[in-house]
Every structure is written in C-alpha cells, then in structure tokens.
C-alpha cells in the first residue's frame, strides 16, 4: 500500500499555533464510519454523542519539560536536547540538535553546569543515548531548566505550561501531549459522568513516534517506535463490563486507541486483563479492531501513521472526504486544533 494514498494539501494557515482559551469551544466534525456522513458542531456537543453505558478511555500521561538548551562543554556551541524515553537510572534516549555536530563522547552542559550530559551512543536522525549527572533531584532540575516540548510546527512560545497538559494528566513521562484530550474540561467530564458514561484511564507515554515522519514508500515497511503503556486491572474489568452490557468503548486520542488495541491483540479479542510494557503497534487499513468502537481525535499530518490509523477505523475514502471538508471550512489542524469524532 503506497504512502501517497494518504496525502492531501493542507494550507499552512490552518495549523493551529495556540490553544483556544475555552477548551470545549473547539469545533467538532463527526464522521459516521459506516456511511461517511458528516456533521459540524462544537466540542462541548460531544456529550450528545456519548450514550449511557459507553466508556470513555483517557490517557493520563503527563508531559515533562523535556526540551533542554545547553552548550557543548569543549566549544561553547549551542546544543538542544529533547528527552524521549528514560531507559534506566539517569540514561535517556533523546533527539539532539545539531545532530551532525554532537558525537559520541561529547559533553553538553545546561544551566551553567547544574546538569551535565555525556553522549554514550549515536543513532539515526539525531537520536542519541545520554547519561546525565547532577546534584539534587533530576525532576526538580528539569522543571527549572526545561521547556515544554511543543511540536516543531508550533512556532509561538507557550507561556502557560498547563495548556499543553490535559486536565487529568497524572503520570509523568511523555515527550508530547495526548492532544485529543486537551479539549476536555473538568466540568465537561462531570457532565459526561452524569449522563451515565463511565470514564476509564490508561497510560501511554508519548515518545519518538510523534516526532518522526514516515520515510518509506510502502505503508507495510514502516516500523513504529515503541512507547511504554499501562492498562490496569480496574480499567480492564470496566471495559469487559462495557462490552458485556452492549456499550461502546470510546478512545480519546490515538494513544488510547493504540494501547487498547495492543492489549486486545494480546488477549486475542477475548476478555481484557491488566497489562504493561512496550508497544510498537501500527494500525493501518486492513486492521480489525478488537476493543475500540469509536474515537475522538484531532486532525493529523498528511501521510502520517495517525491518518492511517483513523482510516483503518473509518475507511480511507471517508477520512479523506472529512479532511477535505475540514480544510474547506477552515478547521484548525494538529495539536492545538479542532476535533473529530468517529463513531
């Protein structure tokens, strides 16, 4: 299957640079996955599409201030580091800039020496393994020196860090926010519960896959970067009960979707159980969903793995039709953009 089948023209002015002040005022495009029917609303109307007996699944990962600006110890040249994954202790997988000038053995210092990193290993496209040394508590140092790791297409600085966190963010570890969840407020979640909809939580720490474009021509040749997930026994039992009573499992974001389908695949479509570990699941058309019935998501990059995931759920033709209409109506795209509900 050719990657170009998932290409479309996106005007640059539709890429949202800042979050809306009112989270629930984003626009909402609903897509019927059976017939492709579309409707246009605001995100707060999502409550009308969630039915008593459904379960909404949220990813409660929390973004860490993972972008660090420092200098090479020997030359004083500027260096940028984006932390992606804690490997063990003080060793991290990261992306670095400038990738061509930061080599194995180089030392980078941050905050006038408060934090020091040695490059232990080199990978492709700026990937490195770093080992950190410091005095004190690493997370406190990161909070004081680091910046929120906004995607590269967002040019404006975000003054309020919390605008790149979901209101239910809990477990630190992500290099990017699960952005479909940014639309929810505590008030909206309370109204959803009052409607008779259960809310469940999973954790998937978003990593390198968010920042890496596809570099292959055939979809089947792409290899996903693994990310760490946790699905508790409490969530597993609630989802099993949801299926028993005929309710829908509604994933909020592609990260929740990938976690649920990872565990569903392990259980071969049977009863879910607690699970944790690394997932590199790649969902594209032809995939048979085992857990997820509906999905709340943002609008994604052309030719991205995320466009392929939503196409697997709703069909490529329905998704491209929806995207073309969203572009015509000037929906906001990507992390701080508007939302889509596939049901």
How do the domains of the chain map onto residue ranges? Answer: 3-63+161-342, 67-145
The domains spanning 3-63+161-342 and 67-145 adopt the same CATH topology? no
Residue 140 has pLDDT above 80, yes or no: yes
Residue 302 has pLDDT above 90, yes or no: yes
Locate tokens 């974001």: which residue? Answer: 253
pTM, two decimals, is 0.91
In angstroms, what CA-CA distances link 188 with 60, 212, 255, 338? Answer: 16, 33, 21, 16
Tell me: the pLDDT tens digits for 237-247?
Answer: 999 999 999 99
Closest CA to 172 of 197, 137, 199: 137
Closest CA to 291 of 269, 314, 266, 315: 269
CATH number of 67-145: 2.40.10.240
334: its two tokens:
């990507």
Q: What is the pLDDT of residue 212?
A: 66
Chain-wide mean pLDDT for the chain?
94
Q: Residue 125 class from Cβ within 10 Å (0-12 exposed, 13-18 middle, 19+ buried)?
A: exposed
SS3 145: helix
The domain covering 3-63+161-342 belongs, at the CATH homologous superfamily level, to QueA-like (3.40.1780.10)
Tell me: the pLDDT tens digits for 199-220?
Answer: 999 999 998 666 566 788 999 9
Residue 89 and residue 94: Cα distance in Å, rounded?
14
Query: How much is the average pLDDT of 97-126?
Result: 94
Q: What is the pLDDT of residue 149?
A: 87
Tell me: the pLDDT tens digits for 47-93?
Answer: 999 999 999 999 999 999 999 999 999 999 999 999 988 898 999 99
175: its two tokens:
């290099």
Tell me: the pLDDT tens digits for 145-196?
Answer: 999 888 777 877 777 888 899 999 999 999 899 999 999 999 999 999 999 9
**Of all helices (H) and strands (E), which one includes residue 81?**
strand 78-88
Compute and round to an integer the Cα radius of gyration of the chain.
20
């Amino acid at each position: 299957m050719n990657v170009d089948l998932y290409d479309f023209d996106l005007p640059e002015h539709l890429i949202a640079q800042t979050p809306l002040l009112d989270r629930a005022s984003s626009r909402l495009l609903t897509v019927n996955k059976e017939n492709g029917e579309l409707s246009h609303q605001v995100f707060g109307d999502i409550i009308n599409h969630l039915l008593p007996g459904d379960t909404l699944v949220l990813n409660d990962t929390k973004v860490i201030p993972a972008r660090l600006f420092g200098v090479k110890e020997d030359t004083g040249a500027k260096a940028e580091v984006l932390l992606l994954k804690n490997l063990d202790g003080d060793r991290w997988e990261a992306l670095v800039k400038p990738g061509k000038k930061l080599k194995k053995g180089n030392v980078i210092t941050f905050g006038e020496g408060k934090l020091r990193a040695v490059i232990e290993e080199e990978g492709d496209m700026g990937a490195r393994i770093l080992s950190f040394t410091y005095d004190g508590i690493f997370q406190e140092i990161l909070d004081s020196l680091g910046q929120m790791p906004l995607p590269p297409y967002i040019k404006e600085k975000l003054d309020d860090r919390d605008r790149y966190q979901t209101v239910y963010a809990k477990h630190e570890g992500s290099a990017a926010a699960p952005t479909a969840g940014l639309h929810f407020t505590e008030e909206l979640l309370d109204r959803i519960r009052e409607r008779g909809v259960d809310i469940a939580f999973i954790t998937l720490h978003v990593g390198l896959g968010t920042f890496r474009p596809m570099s292959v021509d055939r979809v089947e040749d792409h290899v996903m970067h693994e990310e760490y997930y946790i699905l508790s026994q409490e969530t597993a039992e609630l989802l099993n009960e949801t299926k028993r009573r005929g309710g829908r499992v509604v994933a909020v974001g592609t990260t929740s979707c990938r976690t649920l389908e990872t565990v569903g695949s392990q259980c071969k479509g049977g009863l879910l159980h607690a699970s944790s570990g690394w997932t590199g699941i790649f969902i594209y058309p032809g995939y048979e969903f085992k857990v997820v019935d509906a999905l709340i998501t943002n609008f994604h990059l052309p030719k991205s793995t995320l466009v392929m995931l939503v196409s697997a759920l709703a069909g490529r033709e329905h998704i491209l039709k929806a995207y073309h209409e969203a572009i015509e109506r000037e929906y906001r795209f990507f992390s701080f953009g508007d939302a889509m509900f596939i049901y």
